[in-house]
């Protein structure tokens, strides 16, 4: 589940899947990217030498926004949530997956490193490097991001897919991690901060905002 931009590294996601599971018919890659037009997807693949994946029937692209309940079902139906993101402030998609007891494969650097560990996730080494000029985002000029090691990414996908025991152990640990980031848990931490500052503490967390659409998940 990603917005289709270089920062989320869809090339490694797709090429890594193909390299990890060549010829296997018992695996699927489901990508949720609301608003991504099929012709843009095809053009993007051809521009990166990945046009062979256009005919890969194991890859499903979901481009229509899903209601929250259906989005949650996608998490729960997956054996793994994998995203080789090069940089996220938090990595909310990882946290959402943990909350659904879905184990994750993630870079070991970036915002998600605040809550992902070797105990609750399959982590892949990532190195800090300058953002290349062809990334297409002027805001990235002169910036750095984290690039996962491709071979390590592929091998980690294979290992995670092969071991149900390891997936279950990380899923359970990840669920417990996610409980530290619920609205109630966040309220308790903020209440402590307010008390230390001498500010009045609300009696309960504020109500959740109405969901008028579906967030594009990083």
Q: For the chain, how many residues are written?
A: 218
Predicted pLDDT at 194? 85
Q: What is the pLDDT of residue 54?
A: 92
Q: What is the CATH number of domain 6-196?
A: 3.40.50.2000
- How far out from the chain centre does Cα 156 lie? 15
Residue 83 in 3-state DSSP? coil
Residue-wise pLDDT tens digits, 26-72 = 999 999 999 999 899 999 999 999 999 998 999 999 999 999 889 99
Tokens 């499903």 sit on residue? 60
Domain chopping of the chain, boundaries? 6-196
Locus of tokens 């503490």: 201
pLDDT digits (tens, 9 = 90+) for 133-190: 766 667 777 889 999 999 999 999 999 999 999 999 999 999 999 999 888 888 888 8
Answer yes or no: are the C-beta atoms of 136 and 190 closer than 8 Å.
no
Distance CA 162, CA 154 (A): 12
- The two three-digit tokens of residue 6, written as one number: 């270089």
């Amino acid at each position: 589940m990603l917005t289709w931009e270089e920062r989320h590294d869809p090339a490694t996601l797709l090429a890594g899947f193909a390299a990890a599971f060549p010829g296997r018919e018992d695996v699927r890659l489901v990508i949720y990217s609301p608003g991504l037009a099929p012709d843009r997807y095809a053009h993007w693949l051809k521009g990166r030498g990945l046009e062979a994946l256009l005919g890969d029937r194991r890859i499903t692209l979901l481009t229509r926004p899903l209601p929250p309940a259906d989005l949650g079902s996608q998490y729960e139906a997956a054996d793994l949530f994998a995203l080789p993101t090069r940089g996220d402030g938090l990595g909310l998609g990882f946290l959402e997956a943990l909350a659904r007891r879905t184990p994750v494969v993630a870079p070991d650097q970036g915002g998600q490193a605040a809550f992902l560990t070797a105990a609750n996730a399959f982590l892949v080494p990532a190195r800090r490097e300058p953002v290349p000029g062809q990334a297409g985002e002027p805001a990235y000029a002169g910036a750095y991001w984290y690039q996962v090691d491709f071979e390590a990414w592929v091998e980690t996908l294979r290992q995670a897919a092969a071991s149900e025991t390891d997936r279950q152990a990380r899923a359970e640990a990840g669920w417990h991690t996610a409980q530290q980031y619920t609205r109630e848990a966040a309220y308790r931490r903020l209440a402590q901060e307010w008390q230390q500052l001498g500010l009045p503490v609300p009696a309960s967390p504020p109500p959740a905002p109405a969901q008028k659409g579906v967030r594009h998940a990083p």
